[in-house]
A and B are shown apart, each in its own frame.
Chain A
Amino acid sequence: MQGEPREGRIVVVGASLAGLRAAEALRDAGFVGSLTLIGEEPQPPYDRPPLSKQVLLGKVSADRTGLPQRRRVDAQWRLGVRAIGLDPIGKEVLLADGEKVPFDRLLIATGTRARPWPKPAEATLDGVFTLRTGEDAGRLAERLDAGPERVLVIGAGFTGSEIASACRERGLAVTVAERGPAPLVGALGGTLGALAAKLQRAHGVDLRCGVTVTELEGDGRLTGARFSDGSRIDADVAVVALGAVRNTEWLAESGLAAGPRGVTCDAGCRAFDMYGIVTDDVFAAGDVARFPHPLFEYQLLSLEHWGNAVAQAEVAAHNMVNPGPRRRPHLTVPAFWSSQFGLNIKSVGVPTFSDQVVIAQGSLKDARLVAVYGYRGRVTAAVSVNQAKALEYYERLIETAAPFPPAPGAADRIESPVPVPSDVPDPKTLSHGPTVALTGHLPDRRLTLVQPAR
Chain B
Amino acid sequence: MAADTLFHRITDYAHRADPYPFYAELREAGVARQEDGSYLVGTYHEIEALLHDPRISSDRRNRTVPDETAAAEQGLPPAFIGLDDPEHHRLRRLTMRSFGPPHTPDRIAGMHDEITRIVKDLLAGFVDKERIDVVDDFAYPLPVTVICRLLGVPIEDEPRFRAWSDAIVAGIDPTPGEDPTERPRAAAEARKEMGLYLGELAEKRRAHPSDDMLSAFVSDSADGQLTPLEIMTTSVLLLIAGHETTVNLITNGVLTLLRHPDELARLRGEPALMPRAVEELLRYEPPVQMLPQRTPLADIEVAGVTVPKGAPLILMLASGNRDPRRFCDPDRFDPTREDNQHLGFGSGIHNCFGAPLARLEAQIALHELIQHLDTPRLVEDPPPYRRSPVLRGPRHLLLAPGRDDAQRGR
Residues of A within 8 A of B (CB): 360-362, 366, 368, 387, 389-390, 392-393, 396, 407-414
Contacts and interface: CB of A to CB of B under 8 A. Distances in A.
Interface in B333-365: 348-349, 351
B52 interface: yes
28 contacts: A360-B54, A361-B85, A362-B85, A389-B52, A389-B348, A389-B351, A390-B52, A390-B54, A392-B52, A392-B348, A393-B49, A393-B52, A393-B53, A396-B52, A407-B55, A408-B298, A409-B55, A409-B296, A410-B54, A410-B297, A411-B54, A411-B57, A411-B85, A411-B297, A412-B54, A412-B84, A412-B89, A414-B86
A411 B348 contact: no
Interface in B66-124: 84-86, 89
A368 B93 CA distance: 13
A390 B349 contact: yes
B86 to A, nearest CB: 5
B49 A362 contact: no
Central interface residue in B56, B57, B86, B298, by most chain A CB within 10 Å: B86
Contacts of A368: 86, 89
Contacts of B298: 407-409
Contacts, number: 50
Contacts of A414: 86
Contacts of A407: 55, 298
A410 B53 CA distance: 8
Contacts of B296: 409
B55 A412 contact: no
Central interface residue in B53, B85, B348, by most chain A CB within 10 Å: B85
Interface residues of B, number: 18
Contacts of A393: 49, 52-54
Given A407-B55, A412-B89, 4 more contacts: A396-B49, A410-B297, A411-B54, A412-B85
Nearest to A392: B52
B84 A411 contact: yes
A74 to B, nearest CB: 22
Nearest to B297: A409
Contact of B55 (A362, A392, A410): A410
A349 to B, nearest CB: 15
A368 B159 CA distance: 42
A213 B212 CA distance: 53
B326 to A, nearest CB: 15
Interface in B295-313: 296-298, 309
Contacts of A410: 54-55, 297
A14 B344 CA distance: 40
Interface in B29-63: 49, 52-57
A361 B54 contact: yes
Nearest to B58: A411
Contacts of A387: 89
A295 to B, nearest CB: 18
Q: Pick the 3 closest A-B CB pairs, nearest first.
A: A412-B85, A409-B298, A411-B84
Central interface residue in B53, B84, B296, by most chain A CB within 10 Å: B53
A361 B54 CA distance: 9
Contacts of B53: 393
Contacts of B309: 409
Nearest to A396: B49
A411 B49 contact: no
A339 B298 CA distance: 34
A229 to B, nearest CB: 38
B306 to A, nearest CB: 13
Contacts of B54: 360-361, 390, 393, 409-413
A409 B86 CA distance: 14
A390 B88 CA distance: 13
Contact of B86 (A362, A392, A396): A362
A362 B88 CA distance: 12
A359 B89 CA distance: 17
Contacts of A366: 86
Contacts of B84: 411-412
Central interface residue in B49, B55, B309, B348, by most chain A CB within 10 Å: B55
A11 B43 CA distance: 43
Contacts of A392: 52, 348
Nearest to A390: B54
Contacts of B89: 368, 387, 412
A53 B89 CA distance: 26
Contacts of A408: 298
B204 to A, nearest CB: 34
